[in-house]
């Protein structure tokens, strides 16, 4: 297969972009009944699909969504993106995906304009406190965990994170991982560092540490230890890259790239991703 054919295949599931942003709301309104019928058709097939046990989501496109709609500030796009997460979680749990990892804030995001970072961190704290007290979280028995360099976040946000994790620690039906202040390279570096420290504390020599090192040595130190590796990685906004998301864990994951910006993601977009996953022949490196 040529590179061009591979590229076409990778984006073949994307909807065509409307050239006129002003016409999009009207077009969506006209198409709504057809979307509903298509969604029902997809849902009727869900029980026949092989379902991923762990879906990783790169929630991209909040800022573009805000700019496309002419919202007064990109923070409004982030707020709508946070609200969308509740919808997507419910859709995933409805079809039986037990583990979901979402990437909310990367290490690189700290480099954004100061007011945007500040508003984002305030939004995260607000939503984290809502998670801890949410009837949906408790009724669905969702365990919430945060992955990343949490010590880099404001202390009030760290407290909210600890409260959410403690309030849901006894649940096991569903798992929600929120990657915050997260970077894949940083996770792997941290895992190696912790492994080396532990082995050194046992009195092992450097020669023994190197001789005994293999992938199973590192896995217990990853943020997701004890959870299944992601089967499917979904990225919104049309970007076709991982950007460092779950680098170690996603070695054999399937990927699906969707043009919709994260706040505009529809249920049929998620169902299309799950259908595409079902149609893949998973070789797991073999």
Residue of 68, 87, 109, 198 with catalytic role:
109
Residue of 7, 28, 47, 60 with catalytic role:
60
Q: Say how many Å lie between the first and final Cα of the chain, rounded.
A: 19
Under a CB-based contact definition with an 8 Å cutoff, are residues 174 and 96 in contact?
A: no
Task: Look up 109 and say whether it is catalytic.
Answer: yes
Task: Look up 212 and say whether it is catalytic.
Answer: no
User: Cα–Cα distance between 110 and 39 in angstroms, integer?
Assistant: 38
Collect contacts of 244-247 with beta carbons under 8 A, ≥24 apart: 244/106, 244/183, 244/184, 244/185, 245/56, 245/58, 245/103, 245/179, 245/182, 245/184, 246/56, 246/101, 246/179, 246/184, 247/184, 247/185, 247/187, 247/188
Tokens for 148, please give them.
């990343």
Catalytic site residues?
60, 109
């Amino acid at each position: 297969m040529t590179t061009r054919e591979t590229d076409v295949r990778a984006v073949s599931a994307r909807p065509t972009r409307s050239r006129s942003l002003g016409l999009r709301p009207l077009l969506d309104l006209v198409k709504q009944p057809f979307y509903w019928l298509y969604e029902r058709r997809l849902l009727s097939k869900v029980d026949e699909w092989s379902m991923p046990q762990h879906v990783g989501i790169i929630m991209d496109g909040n800022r573009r969504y805000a700019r496309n709609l002419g919202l007064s500030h990109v923070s409004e796009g982030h707020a709508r993106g946070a609200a969308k997460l509740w919808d997507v979680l419910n859709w995933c749990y409805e079809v039986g995906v037990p583990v979901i990892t979402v990437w909310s804030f990367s290490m690189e995001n700290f480099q954004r304009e100061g007011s945007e970072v500040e508003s984002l961190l305030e939004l995260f704290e607000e939503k984290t406190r809502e998670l801890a007290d949410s009837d949906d979280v408790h009724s669905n028995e969702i365990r919430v965990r945060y992955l990343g360099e949490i010590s880099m976040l404001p202390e009030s946000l760290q407290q909210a994170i600890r409260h959410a994790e403690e309030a849901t620690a006894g649940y096991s039906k569903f798992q929600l991982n929120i990657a915050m202040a997260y970077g894949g390279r940083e996770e792997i570096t941290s895992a190696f560092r912790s492994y080396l420290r532990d082995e050194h504390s046992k009195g092992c020599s450097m020669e023994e540490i190197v001789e005994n090192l293999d992938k199973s040595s590192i896995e217990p130190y990853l943020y997701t230890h004890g959870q299944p590796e992601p089967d499917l990685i979904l990225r919104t906004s049309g970007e076709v890259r991982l950007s460092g998301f779950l680098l170690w864990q996603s070695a054999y994951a399937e990927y699906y790239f969707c043009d919709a910006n994260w706040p505009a993601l529809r249920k049929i977009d998620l169902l299309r991703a799950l259908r595409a996953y079902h149609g893949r022949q998973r070789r797991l490196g073999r």
